[in-house]
Structure 1
């Protein structure tokens, strides 16, 4: 922070900017701080901290927000990040649930949400896709009393991944209208912000690393079992993407007893184009398994809830599901050797600790590495939270640059 800045050759303007960013990051992390406390955390003198806060207040980046009470002497003024300094949009695209959009201010507080239902995604061309995304964002902005001109950055989480060589979305044939190589540019032009299109499971891993079960790990794998199946492989704190963006597309992984996807990752096989592991542990596969054992629920989470309440038949369902999950995990663990595996998505969430323990027991006999196995600890939508975190990081990087 400030002490480091003083040790780096540079102009006074650059050093001031470094101190400004350090102070703003501290206000984000700690919430409202007094001038004295901010000085202690940055190592700045009281006069320098006062000048810094005055400069940031004049720039519209911080504001006074009351006084600190319960301390000896006069009450000290508290300062916090100005929430309106930047706003971001985060979206989750799901063929089963539609498009969910959330708008947050720079502090991370969500100020508006809106959802467009799934039928709108079933058929589409790129220009219609742009209109749907804009409609979802506009709906969230309207709730917040904002317009597109108030946005600074947008992150969209989708199944599949952008091919870094072509810019086209791959591994998501079930999203018509999303395969255009110019889609990101068209979305950026429509929304008036930079747009990042990121794999949804990678975003779930971002949320898990900052808010959930992987906070103390730099190397881990998140396995997502929901309507779709995928993995995020995080090494050194960064996601592994692969040559075509397909690292972690384990839904296509061939396994004994599972039909394979035909025609490659952009052809239709399973419910989202996947084969192999996808057809063993996805929500539709779990529902089929439960019905084969006499359960009549109409969705995988409800079926697993019934299984947990019904020891005899339910144990058979949970044991078989655990065997399937462990077989797929063993392949991933044997190659990646992570410190931690996080189970996320509606299938592990519904199976809970009982399913996790069964998977752990099965995995012990299949794979030599013994990673820790945890359930997701993120409340709400991990994908949406990861998209918000990613958008906020980009917006803060830009807005906090006072050079």
Structure 2
């Protein structure tokens, strides 16, 4: 326990002296010295210079040895796969992106090869090989059904519906694999680095080409019996066609209906055309028109009201292309739509994370998994 406490401190705060580690853990100087000697002998920590510029002898600084292990984080979308590779401290060393056309459609194990191509590209940039990896976390639309192993709610990802998908990917890369819903991973990023820090009960609503939610209650993700908790893109709402069971095989994220048909980014652009703005080609151009922005806010509020009525979160975080393009003006309009409703009034925030939140969350989970394994000195 003392070893893990010291290692977690070094991860969180960077290089520390023996004295400072003792102060933060409550350990005596002799115990802290023994601890650091043990971790250094195990190759988990290393010295990294001295503290200078103060009276007395210069104190040695200790840090996590970044060569202890490396992890990969991936984000899958309809156009391809993005990957990053990082060392055990979380420092990103390499990045890569492969399109779905990188491997021929009829190639055996095509999905596994696409994933491997993305990982290998990031490893090459980092000067590493697959032998350096200790694990990988992959964020995808949909969710793995814990009973069947099938990726559900993602009919628009051909090749990802194998019952042996997780085993096939693990065999290809040669490391343990975690496959997680992409919006759940975005919520992990918000929880640790973004708008939901310090909040135990919140909902992240992802409004992009796909629409989904991650529900965090008591600090823990709610997954559901089939992994489908938060698949609000299929949620039936007035003004949208129903997403019937048979439609789930359709090669589109929304299965042909539901909330996503009202607020998904392609539908926001279509809405602008309906409002007489045929030149709008992007979500940002569409939401620049006040009438479109107001209608999207009304639709968003209708869907959020259904979620809030069931979950009663303290906070709702809006993320994805539509939320980012609409920004604070859209957030205010959505908030105004809640006025007068006989519902709880959660805080409403727009995500302010930099970069790809799905990759950020995947990296967070990958590092946590690797550290649990590598930092166990028992």
Q: Give the corresponding residue for 2:138.
A: 156
Structure 1, 318-327 or 109-118: larger mean CA deviation: 109-118
Q: CA deviation at 1:125?
A: 7.0
Aligned match for 1:378, one of 331, 334, 353: 353
What CA distance in whole angstroms lies between the structure 2 residues aligned with 1:393 and 1:54? Answer: 24
Query: Residues 214-293 of structure 1 correspond to what in structure 2 (within 5 A)?
Result: 214-264=196-246, 266-268=248-250, 270-273=252-255, 275-293=257-275
* CA 1:151–1:230: 2 relative to 1, 3 Å: same
Q: Is the 8 A contact 1:161 1:170 kept in 2?
A: yes
Whether 1:352 aligns to 2:335 is no
* CA 1:24–1:265: 2 relative to 1, 3 Å: farther
Whether 1:54 aligns to 2:29 is no
What CA distance in whole angstroms lies between the structure 1 residues aligned with 2:340 and 2:273? Answer: 28
Q: Give the corresponding residue for 1:331.
A: 306
Q: Alignment partner of 2:179: what SS?
A: strand
Q: CA deviation at 1:71?
A: 2.3
Query: Residues 3-402 of structure 1 correspond to what in structure 2 (within 5 A)?
Result: 18-96=1-79, 98-120=80-102, 123=105, 127-264=109-246, 266-268=248-250, 270-273=252-255, 275-295=257-277, 296-304=279-287, 307=288, 314-402=289-377
Gaps of 5+ in 2: none
Q: CA deviation at 1:120?
A: 4.7
The RMSD of aligned alpha carbons is 1.6
Q: How many residues align?
A: 377
Q: Is the 8 A contact 1:252 1:265 kept in 2?
A: no
* CA 1:105–1:373: 2 relative to 1, 3 Å: same
Q: Is the 8 A contact 2:103 2:113 kept in 1?
A: no
Q: Is the 8 A contact 2:241 2:256 kept in 1?
A: no
What CA distance in whole angstroms lies between the structure 2 residues aligned with 1:118 and 1:78? Answer: 46
Q: Alignment partner of 2:200: what SS?
A: coil
1:49-73 CA-to-partner distances (Å, cap 9, x unmatched) read: 1111111111111111111123221
Q: CA deviation at 1:47?
A: 1.5
Q: CA deviation at 1:237?
A: 1.1
Gaps of 5+ in 1: 1-17, 308-313
Q: Alignment partner of 2:109: what SS?
A: helix
What CA distance in whole angstroms lies between the structure 1 residues aligned with 2:161 and 2:337? Answer: 39
Q: Alignment partner of 2:183: what SS?
A: helix
1:303-341 CA-to-partner distances (Å, cap 9, x unmatched) read: 33xx1xxxxxx1101100000000000000000000100
Q: CA deviation at 1:402?
A: 0.6
What CA distance in whole angstroms lies between the structure 2 residues aligned with 1:269 and 1:192? Answer: 31
Q: Alignment partner of 1:285: what SS?
A: helix
What CA distance in whole angstroms lies between the structure 2 residues aligned with 1:208 and 1:367? Answer: 28
1:65-118 CA-to-partner distances (Å, cap 9, x unmatched) read: 11112322122111111111110000000003x100100101111100000024
Q: Alignment partner of 1:380: what SS?
A: coil
| TM superposition score normalised by structure 1 | 0.90
| TM superposition score normalised by structure 2 | 0.96
Q: Is the 8 A contact 1:218 1:236 kept in 2?
A: yes
